[in-house]
């Protein structure tokens, strides 16, 4: 399997009114070609800003350092013009709320044709033809009606399909999907996730799926990275992660979510997510960890391979592979 995207030691700080927020604290991850990589975590863990860093769509008060190697190029060293070639063409993105990415004042037709013409140098007729093809690809067969509609006349699920269609217009090699189904009902969520997987098989792109929903991860992803307070704490094959979670945070998350198949007791994680303005020293999870040792308060654990397709950043596993007692 060849690596498509590799993020190395990515640090991101935001200079804010209240001080500097240390939002990403040395993130390392690799996304292979043709895989669905899930990035899970709670609000403020840094999963969305990681994706915005990849596209270099960050506000002006951001300080970014590290490497983001995509198809052999370090994205952080590209000029803004080169970056525009990457965005949309090589890496596409869809968001939680498709309404906010569509202009409410223009018909779908106008918006799709504009986007298609932006990069493909073709005339309007051809662009329209291409738009229709794309809509069919995302299972919106009633293309004429859709193209003549304004965004508000369509349902949330349809809008998300249109966003996917637009994201696909250049056959990207990476699709970043940031909570693409969070605003949708479960039955529609199922449709959209299935659609993404189908299209992935057909067009051979990789997916970076950002979500807080472990159920969605289990059902769609090949590999998973768990984020906590700006760090990747565990990366593993999806089966491995759910069957054999190593990091106390991952274990805690899995114990805290209800299972629709049966009633099991829920074990909530104690405490709250720390402030990134003043994050805990050492391992950022230590104040909430039941297994914290003195070293956890002082030294930040590195992400270390535990087995072939499983890495964990925790002092309990830093020297040898051993289970939490």
Residues at the site binding another protein, with contacts judged by CB under 8 A: 17, 42-43, 155-158, 185-191, 193-194, 212-219, 238-239, 242, 252-254, 256-264, 266-269, 272-273
The Cα–Cα gap between 53 and 223 comes to 20
* 8 A C-beta contact, residue 43 and residue 211: no
We find the least distance from the C-beta atom of residue 107 to another protein, in angstroms, to be 21
Q: How far is the CB of 87 from another protein (least distance, A)?
A: 30
Q: Output 79 or 187, the one with its CB closest to another protein.
A: 187
Q: Which residue, 208 or 217, is less far from another protein as judged by CB?
A: 217
CB of 308 to another protein, least distance (A): 17
Shortest spacing between CB 174 and another protein, in angstroms: 22
Question: What is the rounded distance in angstroms from the CA atom of residue 223 to the CA atom of residue 235?
Answer: 7
Q: Which is nearer to another protein, 241 or 296 (CB)?
A: 241
* DSSP annotation of 215: H
Smallest distance from the beta carbon of 161 to another protein, in angstroms?
11
- Cβ proximity to another protein: between 120 and 190 the closer is 190
CA angle 227, 233, 235 (to 5 degrees): 90
Question: Which residue's CB is nearer to another protein, number 117 or number 139?
Answer: 139
Give the E-state strand segments of 195-293 in sequence order.
206-211, 223-228, 231-237
Calpha distance 133→126 (Å, rounded): 11
CB of 90 to another protein, least distance (A): 29
Pairing of strands 231-237, 62-70: unpaired
CB closer to another protein, 6 vs 139: 139
- Compute the CA torsion angle 207, 311, 292, 13 (nearest 10 deg): -50
| Closest among 178, 249, 241, 236 to 207, alpha carbons compared | 178
């Amino acid at each position: 399997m060849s690596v498509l995207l590799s993020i190395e030691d990515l640090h991101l700080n935001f200079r804010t009114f209240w001080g500097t927020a240390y939002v990403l604290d040395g993130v390392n991850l690799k996304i292979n070609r043709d895989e669905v990589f899930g990035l899970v975590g709670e609000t403020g863990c840094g999963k969305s800003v990681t994706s915005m860093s990849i596209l270099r769509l960050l506000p002006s008060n951001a300080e970014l350092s590290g490497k983001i190697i995509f198809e052999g190029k370090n994205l952080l060293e590209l000029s803004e013009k080169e970056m525009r070639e990457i965005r949309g063409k090589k890496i596409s993105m869809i968001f939680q709320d498709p309404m906010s990415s569509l202009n409410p004042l223009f018909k779908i037709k106008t918006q799709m044709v504009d986007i298609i013409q932006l990069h493909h140098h073709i005339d309007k007729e051809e662009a329209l033809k291409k738009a229709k093809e794309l809509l069919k690809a995302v299972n919106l067969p009633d293309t004429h009606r859709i193209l003549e509609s304004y965004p508000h006349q369509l349902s949330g699920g349809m809008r998300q399909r249109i966003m996917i269609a637009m994201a696909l217009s250049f056959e990207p090699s990476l699709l970043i999907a940031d909570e693409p189904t969070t605003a949708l009902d479960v039955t529609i969520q199922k449709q959209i996730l299935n659609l993404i997987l189908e299209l992935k098989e057909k067009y051979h792109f990789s997916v970076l799926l950002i979500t807080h929903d472990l159920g969605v991860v289990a059902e769609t992803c090949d590999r998973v990275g768990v984020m906590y307070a700006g760090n990747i704490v565990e990366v593993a094959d999806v089966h491995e992660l759910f069957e054999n979670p190593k990091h106390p945070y991952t274990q805690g998350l899995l114990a805290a979510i209800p299972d629709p198949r049966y009633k099991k007791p829920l074990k909530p994680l104690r405490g709250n997510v720390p402030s990134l303005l003043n994050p805990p020293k050492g391992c950022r999870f230590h104040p909430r960890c039941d297994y914290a040792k003195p070293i956890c308060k002082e030294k930040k654990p590195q992400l270390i391979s535990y087995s072939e397709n499983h890495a964990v950043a925790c002092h309990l596993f830093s020297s040898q592979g051993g289970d939490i007692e």
